[in-house]
């Protein structure tokens, strides 16, 4: 029995684009191609994808995952190891759940005021998140931009990092306020906010129009990025992407 790439994307939550990338780099080859040219996967491929996703959750890069899978002999032992490491994540996830619960409570208590003013310490929004989760994959796929961003980060002090974190939090909340108010993404106020976002990105690397639109699409396609945005307000990832696409076409094209 085989499943099409669309079936696997629907079941796993992994985009078809990512599945094709995994196939192209040999991490998750499809079992065969149908007469329609589409990739098809078998049960063993689904089990391999499960292991890939487990190791991505644990922060491993794609090359590390490939090395682990290629050297694996005992699949059951490997799954036990994954389970052990996932159980070790419970403390972090409890902290994350507490962070989201606290944010919800603070927002509900101050519905009549500015959303940012309702949060006592903006950095609390990020307790439990792992900022380096995508670092390995970014290093593999965009080495020049990754090097540029690393140089920028290396030059930041702890105070700089805290200030940047507060700025990111404030930007997300302001965009959420625009979205909830029904403000179109083409509105000058929204586009001014996106300009601030773009300038912030340029502190680390300088994207062209296509790259900036791609970044916005990543906010929607990647489950972890999307969850980070939508924890602030449901639908914020899509709103942010659309606003970034509008900005890229008008200002970077």
Domain ranges of the chain: 3-87, 90-252
CATH no. for 90-252: 1.10.490.50
CA distance 43 to 20: 17
Fold of 3-87: Multidrug-efflux Transporter Regulator; Chain: A; Domain 2 (1.10.1660)
CA distance 192 to 177: 14
pLDDT-flagged residues of the chain (< 70)? 1, 58-59, 72-79, 81-83, 85-150, 152-153, 155-156, 161-162
Which of left, alpha, beta for 40 (phi over 0: left; psi -120 to 50: alpha)? beta
Average pLDDT, the chain: 77
pTM above 0.75, yes or no: no
Cβ-based neighbour number of residue 121 at 10 Å: 11
């Amino acid at each position: 029995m085989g499943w099409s790439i669309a079936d696997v994307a629907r079941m796993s939550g992994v985009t078809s684009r990512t599945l094709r990338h995994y196939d192209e780099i040999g991490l998750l080859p499809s079992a065969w191609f149908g007469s329609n040219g589409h990739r098809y996967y078998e049960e063993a491929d689904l089990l391999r994808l499960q292991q890939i996703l487990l190791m991505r959750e644990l922060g491993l890069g794609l090359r590390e995952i490939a090395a682990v899978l290629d050297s694996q002999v005992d699949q059951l032992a490997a799954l036990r190891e994954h389970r052990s490491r996932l159980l070790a994540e419970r403390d972090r996830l409890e902290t994350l759940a507490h962070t989201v619960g606290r944010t919800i409570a603070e927002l509900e208590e101050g519905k009549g005021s500015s959303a940012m003013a309702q949060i006592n310490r903006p950095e609390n929004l990020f307790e439990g998140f792992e900022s380096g989760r995508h670092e390995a994959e970014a290093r593999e796929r965009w080495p020049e931009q990754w090097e540029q961003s690393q140089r920028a980060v290396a030059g930041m002090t702890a105070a700089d990092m805290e200030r940047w974190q507060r700025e990111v939090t404030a930007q997300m909340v302001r965009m959420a306020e625009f979205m909830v108010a029904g403000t179109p993404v083409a509105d000058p106020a929204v586009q001014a906010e996106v300009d601030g976002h773009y300038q912030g990105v340029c502190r680390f690397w300088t994207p062209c129009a296509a790259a900036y639109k791609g970044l916005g699409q990543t906010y929607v396609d990647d489950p972890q990025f999307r969850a980070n945005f939508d924890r602030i307000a449901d639908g914020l990832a899509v709103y942010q992407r659309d606003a970034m696409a509008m900005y890229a076409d008008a200002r970077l094209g």
